[in-house]
Amino acid sequence: MSKTFNKLTSFLVGTALAATVASAAGGELQKVMKARGLTENDVIRAAKTYNPTGGRDEFIVFSSGGQSGQVIVYGVPSMRILKYIAVFTPEPWQGYGYDVDSLKILRQGNIRGREINWGDTHHPALSEKDGKYDGRWLAINDKANPRIAIIDLHDFETKQITVNPVFKSAHGGAFFTQNSDYIIEAAQYAAPFDNFYHPIEEYKETYRGGVTMWKFNYKKGRIIPKDSFTIEMPPYMQDLSDAGKGVSDGWGFTNSFNTEMYTGGIEVGMPPNEAGMSRNDTDFLHVYNWKKLAKIAKNKKNVKIVNGHKIIPMSVAVANNALFLIPEPKSPHGVDVSPDGEYITVCGKLDTHASVFKWSKIKKLIKNKKYVGRDPYGIPILDMKSSLHGQIELGLGPLHNQYSNVKGEIYTSLYVDSQIVKWNYLTLKVLDKENVHYNVGHLAGMEGKSADPQGKYIISLNKLAIDRFQNVGPLHPQNHQLIDISGKTMDLLVDMPLPLGEPHQAVAIRASKLNPHVRYPMGTNSKTGKIHVGKTLAGQERIERRNAKGKIDPKGKFVTIYATFVRSHINPERITVNKGDEVKIYMTNLERAQDETHGFTVDGFDVHSSLEPGETTEMKFIADIEGVFPYYCTEFCSALHLEMMGYLMVKDPKKTYVSAKKLKMKTMTTAELKAEYKKTVAVNDATDAVIQSVVAFLKENKFGEHKVVADLVTDAFDQYGQIPAQKKLADAEYKKGNIEKAILFENMIWQLMVKTADVGIRAKDALVRLVATKQSSSAQAGERAFGEGGCSGCHVIGKVSSGPDLTGVLQRHENGEKWVTNFIMNPEKMMHDPYVKAMIDVYNLKMPNQHMNKKETKDIIEYLKWIDTNANLF
Ligand code: CUK
Ligand code: CUA
């Protein structure tokens, strides 16, 4: 492209821009609002939720991913999705279920030997200390296949799946006790604990409900099944649970439906389940002393073992005064303990009321053994009225509750009314109602079920999304709505379509409490947290062939590859095996640089692994088909990512292969090779000079004082440090006369330099932002005007471009500010100034009138002053 053409375009573009931005600032907002049909309220709501580029959210939400068997992570208030965590379902991006180590986790979830490859996640729970979230672990249940998974919040990976050996479905989990000693999981659909056939006619005798108390090792972040136990419960359908806290610590609360013990039978002429299971006016809230029962479970005499798991029979729990029932309004759903542990709110979805039970009243009844009767299984029943603090009418279909930072303030979802009610559980008064989109299930407050709720926002997890979003076919997304609760009345801020599963519950935590790592110690098996047996460092790459006894044997059928990954090559790059060999690949990502993940697959073998910096993973398959299979890095990790590949060649040992090497390829002459070598070395020297200038800049500006920059510099030197070794190889080959090989090694040096420069420049940019003086708002506006008004079309700060560099421009003239102001506003009038004339000669271009107004010009002057103050940085 010709120089003149360049200048011409920037001149034209500049002029056009200047006209459109002429009215700038205030008017611009009005224009956008008009063009997009936005009201002032819309704009305020947008401003309340918008994160500018690079901005962060105050809260992080962990939402159940419903039937996707995953966990969804998003930020509040922006409602931007950050991650899907693979839990019960294979997830290829993360390699989950596609490499050996993650497959082991997934297979921990096998039930009676059968692989289960999905989950119906309902309730995520954050680990607690004194009832407050600590941001260390996340647990989530699977309702369909009764399991609990543990996710490590240091790397957002699933570390354990535990199958409930006696339940056949489980809903009321996961809920941590207030110091994360146990995780509560209640059954849902009653079924026999054993794995045998029991006719439905013997439902009352042989089907059972229950609550499992999973012992949790907080330090290791693992459930310990052998120290866990299940409290046998009547075959009522246990629903949701909550752990007591504060004054009620040590106790658990689980509600239920179908205390009728109805078993349906449409096919034999019985009314359906839905009729029979909601006949009674009340169902039962189960109240149990898990702390006491945990001690009781340690004595063998007190437990029954079913499927290798401890069960405390109802009779034992009752005899020890550790299990009670309280009537609650029919078909309840949520049961939520207040931040101080004194109030327990239960919502009956078929009742318009919320019932607030008071712990001190319940405790007194228990202490005085004041029972109004016993259920058919002999469990003492406490009087409902004497246990209640009070009841309050909320609306149709109350379901779930969340607390805020205001004393007594509680938020309840109304499923049928599609509303959120704000009310006070102490004074029993309704304070406000907000319409949400159709059929809200759970609510998520900010740490809203902890001992330290933060208020500010409530998220409404709606079941339907009719008419809210672009139609994407009959299966609609879910709709999470963010509501501002900081004011006297609620204000619905924004809708977020969630294109995954049907999330039930979500939990939110202050982002500042999360402390995730950026890399693993070299060679880590992220699934165990220990160093991987396959850890391989640079120089240790190898291919080993062993026999069935594990001895090195050239005739063996077991091939192990110890491979390393670093931008932009996989070592080894060629693997030849025999058809039928068992191939095991250990892969170590040698990068220490943040976000330098490499992925790996061998085409056609249904394997994939994601290697985060420092991670080692294992892949295994039988090379059961002959052929040539490329393998490659699946993450676009660097400019030479496409070159990050190799070949797996599988040959049939029974075949003889005829060589196809007939055609001699034409090669370069020695003189040509030498010329290329010289050119390559010269390019490397020039590139190194650029790197050195960046290094000098970084040192001058004391990069070591800024951790973010220092980390990047470490990354850069990781690359740079590899150059001497390559240089040695290049020189040696050159000496031996292998010029072609010497060129290739010199090319490798260039690759390393480019990577160094890439990170180095990132470090420089980060440093400039850190050490530059803060821009005044006027200078900020000036920079915007400079960019949008077209000045930047010709002027590049710190560089001579199609116009002169403007660093120091205010010093170039007497009364510089006035001179530049006049020149910007009326350039035509100054064309005869000898300086301007000279400039026109040099640049062959006249300064155009960009029609800047007075304010814009003044701002630009402020911006130019800011540049001068920081001139050393450009
Ligand atoms: S549940 Cu789905 S809306 Cu499983 Cu907690 Cu209430
Ligand atoms: Cu490594 Cu692409």
Whole-number pLDDT of residue 664: 66
| CB 228, CB 166: distance < 8 Å | no
Both 372 and 422 in one domain: the answer is no
Q: Each residue of 31-44: pLDDT tens digit? A: 999 999 999 999 99
Residue nearest ligand 2's atom 1 by CA: 598
Question: Of the ranges 288-302, 481-495, 763-777, 848-862, which one carries the lowest mean pLDDT score?
Answer: 763-777
Both 238 and 347 in one domain: the answer is yes
Q: Each residue of 468-496: pLDDT tens digit? A: 999 999 999 999 999 999 999 999 999 99
Residue 759: band (very low, low, confident or very high) from pLDDT cuts 50, 70, 90: confident
Whether 323 has a pLDDT exceeding 80, the answer reads yes
In angstroms, rounded to a whole number, what is the distance separating the alpha carbons of residues 371 and 379?
10
Phi/psi for 29 (5° steps) reads -60, -45
For residue 633 and ligand 2, the question of a CB distance below 6 A is answered with yes
In angstroms, rounded to a whole number, what is the distance separating the alpha carbons of residues 190 and 485?
39
Average confidence (pLDDT) over 639-659: 93
Average confidence (pLDDT) over 324-336: 93
Q: Each residue of 738-748: pLDDT tens digit? A: 998 999 999 99
Counting residues of the chain whose pLDDT is more than 90, the rounded percentage is 74
Whether 383 has a pLDDT exceeding 80, the answer reads yes
Residue nearest ligand 1's atom 3 by CA: 441
For residue 570 and ligand 2, the question of a CB distance below 6 A is answered with no
Task: Round the average pLDDT of the chain to a whole number and report it.
Answer: 92
In angstroms, rounded to a whole number, what is the distance separating the alpha carbons of residues 28 and 858?
19
For residue 598 and ligand 2, the question of a CB distance below 6 A is answered with yes
Please name the residues in contact with 738: beta carbons below 8 A apart, sequence gap of 6 or more: none
Helix (H, G, I), strand (E, B) or coil at 811: helix
Q: Is residue 272 part of a domain?
A: yes
Number of domains the chain contains: 6
Q: For the residues of 580-637, what is the DSSP string, one character each?
A: T-EEEEEEEE---STT--EEEEETTS---EEE-TTBEEEEEEE--S-EEEEEE--S--
Q: Is residue 607 part of a domain?
A: yes
Both 736 and 828 in one domain: the answer is no
Return the closest-CA partner of residue 103 out of 174, 164, 169, 161: 161
Both 296 and 228 in one domain: the answer is yes
Q: Is residue 575 part of a domain?
A: yes
Lookup result for tokens 């960019």: 787
873 DSSP assignment:
G
- Other CB atoms within 10 Å distance of the CB of residue 832: 7
In the chain the first and final C-alpha atoms are separated, in Å, by: 27
Q: Is residue 665 part of a domain?
A: yes
Average confidence (pLDDT) over 298-308: 97
Its sign, for the CA torsion 637, 641, 646, 648, is: positive
Return the closest-CA partner of residue 147 out of 170, 126, 180, 172: 170
Both 343 and 423 in one domain: the answer is no
733 bridge partner residues: none
For residue 641 and ligand 2, the question of a CB distance below 6 A is answered with yes
Task: Residue 358: give its domain's CATH number.
Answer: 2.130.10.10
3-state secondary structure labels for all residues of 525-581: ECCCCEECCCCCCCCCCEEEEECCCCCECCCCCEEEEEEEEECCEEECCEEEEECCC
Whether 17 has a pLDDT exceeding 80, the answer reads no
Phi/psi for 296 (5° steps) reads -60, -35
| CB 616, CB 588: distance < 8 Å | yes
What distance in angstroms lies between residue 627's CA and the mean position of ligand 2's atoms?
24
Both 306 and 354 in one domain: the answer is yes
In angstroms, rounded to a whole number, what is the distance separating the alpha carbons of residues 583 and 599?
18
Both 551 and 484 in one domain: the answer is no
Of the two residues 501 and 79, the one the predictor is more confident about is 79
In angstroms, rounded to a whole number, what is the distance separating the alpha carbons of residues 425 and 391?
9
CA dihedral angle for residue 287, residue 290, residue 296, residue 297, rounded to 10 degrees: 110
What distance in angstroms lies between residue 441's CA and the mean position of ligand 1's atoms?
6
| CB 143, CB 188: distance < 8 Å | yes
β-pairing, 616-622 with 582-589? antiparallel
323 bridge partner residues: 288
Residue nearest ligand 1's atom 4 by CA: 122
Nearest bound ligand to the CA of residue 63: 1
Helix (H, G, I), strand (E, B) or coil at 175: strand
Q: Is residue 98 part of a domain?
A: no
What distance in angstroms lies between residue 240's CA and the mean position of ligand 1's atoms?
8
Angle at 302 (CA atoms; ends 299, 305), nearest 5 degrees: 95
Atom of ligand 1 nearest to the CA of 441: 3
For residue 569 and ligand 2, the question of a CB distance below 6 A is answered with no
Atom of ligand 1 nearest to the CA of 333: 6
Task: Report the residue among 256, 335, 400 best suited for mutation to probe ligand 1: largest number of ligand atoms under 8 A from its CB.
Answer: 400
The number of residues making up the chain comes to: 874
Segments forming the whole domain that contains residue 670: 660-771
Both 341 and 235 in one domain: the answer is yes
Nearest bound ligand to the CA of residue 634: 2
Of the two residues 8 and 686, the one the predictor is more confident about is 686
Question: Of the ranges 47-61, 344-358, 454-468, 806-820, which one carries the lowest mean pLDDT score?
Answer: 806-820
Phi/psi for 125 (5° steps) reads -140, 135
For residue 644 and ligand 2, the question of a CB distance below 6 A is answered with yes
In angstroms, rounded to a whole number, what is the distance separating the alpha carbons of residues 716 and 269?
75
β-pairing, 81-86 with 70-76? antiparallel
Atom of ligand 2 nearest to the CA of 565: 1
Q: Each residue of 611-637: pLDDT tens digit? A: 999 999 999 999 999 999 999 999 999
Average confidence (pLDDT) over 157-163: 98
Q: Is residue 635 part of a domain?
A: yes
Return the closest-CA partner of residue 480 out of 508, 453, 452: 508
Q: Each residue of 253-283: pLDDT tens digit? A: 999 999 999 999 999 999 899 888 988 899 9
Q: Is residue 143 part of a domain?
A: no
| CB 504, CB 123: distance < 8 Å | yes
Q: Is residue 185 part of a domain?
A: yes
The rounded Cα 748 to chain-centroid distance in angstroms is 36
Both 596 and 698 in one domain: the answer is no
- Other CB atoms within 10 Å distance of the CB of residue 359: 23
Both 675 and 616 in one domain: the answer is no
In angstroms, rounded to a whole number, what is the distance separating the alpha carbons of residues 446 and 514?
14
Atom of ligand 2 nearest to the CA of 636: 2
Both 575 and 669 in one domain: the answer is no
Both 478 and 611 in one domain: the answer is no
